[in-house]
Amino acid sequence: MDWTDPSTGRAATTPEQPHDDAEVERRLAAATSAWGRWRMEPPASRGALLERIATELEVRREALANTMAREMGKPVAQGALEVDKCARVCRFYAEEGAAMLEPTALDHPEFGASLRYDPLGCVLGVMPWNFPLWQVFRFAAPTLMAGNVVMVKHAPGVPGCARAIETLFEEVGAPRGLYTNLFVPVSKVHGLIADPRVAAVSLTGSTRAGRAVAGTAGANLKKCVLELGGSDPTVVLPGVDLSHAARTIVASRLANAGQSCIAAKRVLAAASLHDDLVDKLAVEMEAWTPQDPKDRASTMGPMARTDLRDEVARQVEASVTQGAVCVRGGRVPERAGAWYPPTLLTHVRPGMPAFDEEVFGPVVSVTSVPNYAEALTLANATSFGLGACLLGGGAEERQHFAEHVHAGACFVGDFVRSDPRLPFGGVKASGYGRELGRAGILEFVNHKTVCVSSR
């Protein structure tokens, strides 16, 4: 399969080959057969496999990090942390999953009633390129622990990552068909969802992709979980340590070259803090110099593809044309590859691409707000609703923000992040359903009511 090294712009080829219809059929049959056995395995056995996977992920940490750096430009230091996070989610469900799946007793005057959580079958995952390991494992670990089997159609730009995950499952002794990788084009996803052997689907991707998957899943009456885009607000109010705020915003926004759904994409700063915050943001951003992602000291690599970089450049240029001020960055460098500099925009307002659209790259956009009420209004002035962050403010403002911001996750005092212990997902155009936590393991199960009469 062909891909392009984002650091150099040079074309490359991997040994992986697309799966034809016959191979897809063989893999679907193997997955169906595996589920018949896996669903009967006790939770302890399922957890033991996840423990082995976690250990092997740690053994292969450097190799996997280098594969990510090569294929989508993630700095190896960040890639190593991603691998460790995958190991953590496997261990979390290995240790906690059995208790989460215990039947829930229900109070009923006539029956001994309970709610069981039975697996659904084969669950298809359609995964993105920006976190090519984490996105897969945060879907796969709870889904497998619940007794399902998984098939993954990964992003085409990360074939080595996709194959590495399947190989890892094979080499830790996972039953054949438990985890299946599918090298197929997007055009094949509709047919996979419609196949009666596929019970449900999980997608992490764009809002457009979410609409397509949801439409096919709905037409076939199948459960789906959608984790889509985001344009997360970070509100900065008096009472905050501005140095801490600047570090928090920059770390959230520039990690993974800004290619994260839950990055701090829109900074809404109180007018009294705006100028000082912008100065500190500019200083903090100096440490984020794009360089070879295979260098252990690199904090920021290229973007994953030149078309993605060009779209970010378009959004920045259009926003500046409409009145935004580019304090630093903002120009595509004259070098091969998908490089784009850390960019700081101020005077951003509704109507500009930097405010209205999801900017999926290393761009910090700052908007001055006169008060908390306006900050909340602008925080909610988006079609997205994945995460939201509040830095500073008093106790009443923090409580009010948590209650009234339209987002699937609200973080106060720190940037939004995903964690195996915390349910994760969005509202509005950011999707529906939840991953992670107990909510995540209960997404792809049959919530079966069982009533037993005493007669």
Q: Does domain 233-420 fall into CATH 3.40.190.10?
A: no
Average pLDDT over the chain, rounded to an integer = 97
Q: What is the pLDDT of residues 250-295, one digit of tens each?
A: 999 999 999 999 999 999 999 999 999 999 999 999 999 999 999 9
Catalytic residue among 71, 82, 166, 227: 227
User: Is 80 exceeded by the pLDDT of residue 455?
Assistant: no
Q: What is the mean pLDDT of residues 78-100?
A: 98
H/E stretch holding 126 reads strand 122-126
Confidence of residue 198 (pLDDT cuts 50, 70, 90): very high
Alpha-carbon Rg for the chain, nearest whole angstrom, is 23
The torsion of the CA quartet 83, 88, 94, 100, rounded to 10 degrees, works out to -130
Contacts 24+ apart (CB under 8 A), 94-97: 94/46, 94/47, 94/48, 94/50, 94/51, 94/54, 94/145, 95/47, 97/43, 97/46, 97/47, 97/50, 97/142, 97/145, 97/146, 97/441
**Is the overall model pTM greater than 0.85, yes or no?**
yes
The type of residue at 60 is R
How far, in Å, are 57, 220, 223, 290, 297 from residue 50 at the CA level? 10, 31, 24, 36, 31
Strands 363-369 and 387-391, sheet pairing: unpaired
Note the pLDDT of residue 432.
98
Note the pLDDT of residue 162.
97
How far, in Å, are 18, 203, 297 from residue 229 at the CA level? 28, 11, 29
Task: Domain ranges for the chain, please list them.
Answer: 2-228+429-453, 233-420
Q: What is the pLDDT of residues 350-393, one digit of tens each?
A: 999 999 999 999 999 999 999 999 999 999 999 999 999 999 99
**What CATH class has 2-228+429-453?**
alpha beta
Confidence of residue 16 (pLDDT cuts 50, 70, 90): confident
**Residue of 31, 5, 52, 3 whose CA lies nearest to 152:** 31
Backbone region of residue 439 per phi and psi (left: phi > 0; alpha: psi in -120 to 50; beta: other values): alpha
Note the pLDDT of residue 445.
98
Q: What is the mean pLDDT of residues 149-161?
A: 96
Q: What is the mean pLDDT of residues 56-75?
A: 98
Q: Of 63 and 9, which is predicted with more confidence?
A: 63
Note the pLDDT of residue 279.
98
H/E stretch holding 387 reads strand 387-391
CB atoms within 10 A of CB 271: 11
Confidence of residue 14 (pLDDT cuts 50, 70, 90): confident
Q: What percent of the chain has pLDDT over 90?
A: 96
Q: Residues 264, 256: contact at Cβ < 8 Å?
A: no
- Whether 110 sits among the annotated catalytic residues: the reply is no
Note the pLDDT of residue 184.
97
The type of residue at 139 is F
How far, in Å, are 46, 312, 343, 345 from residue 364 at the CA level? 43, 12, 6, 6
The Cβ-side half-sphere exposure at 298, using a 13 Å CA radius, reads: 24
Note the pLDDT of residue 1.
74
Catalytic residue among 90, 261, 358, 435: 261
User: Is 80 exceeded by the pLDDT of residue 312?
Assistant: yes
Strands 266-270 and 233-236, sheet pairing: parallel
Q: What is the mean pLDDT of residues 432-450?
A: 98
Helical H segments across 357-455, by residue range:
372-379, 395-404, 437-441
The Cβ-side half-sphere exposure at 173, using a 13 Å CA radius, reads: 8
User: Is 80 exceeded by the pLDDT of residue 2?
Assistant: no
User: Is 90 exceeded by the pLDDT of residue 342?
Assistant: yes
User: Is 80 exceeded by the pLDDT of residue 443?
Assistant: yes
Q: What is the pLDDT of residues 48-63, one digit of tens each?
A: 999 999 999 999 999 9
- Whether 410 sits among the annotated catalytic residues: the reply is no
User: Is 80 exceeded by the pLDDT of residue 396?
Assistant: yes
Residue appearing with tokens 């055009």: 187
User: Is 90 exceeded by the pLDDT of residue 13?
Assistant: no
User: Is 90 exceeded by the pLDDT of residue 71?
Assistant: yes
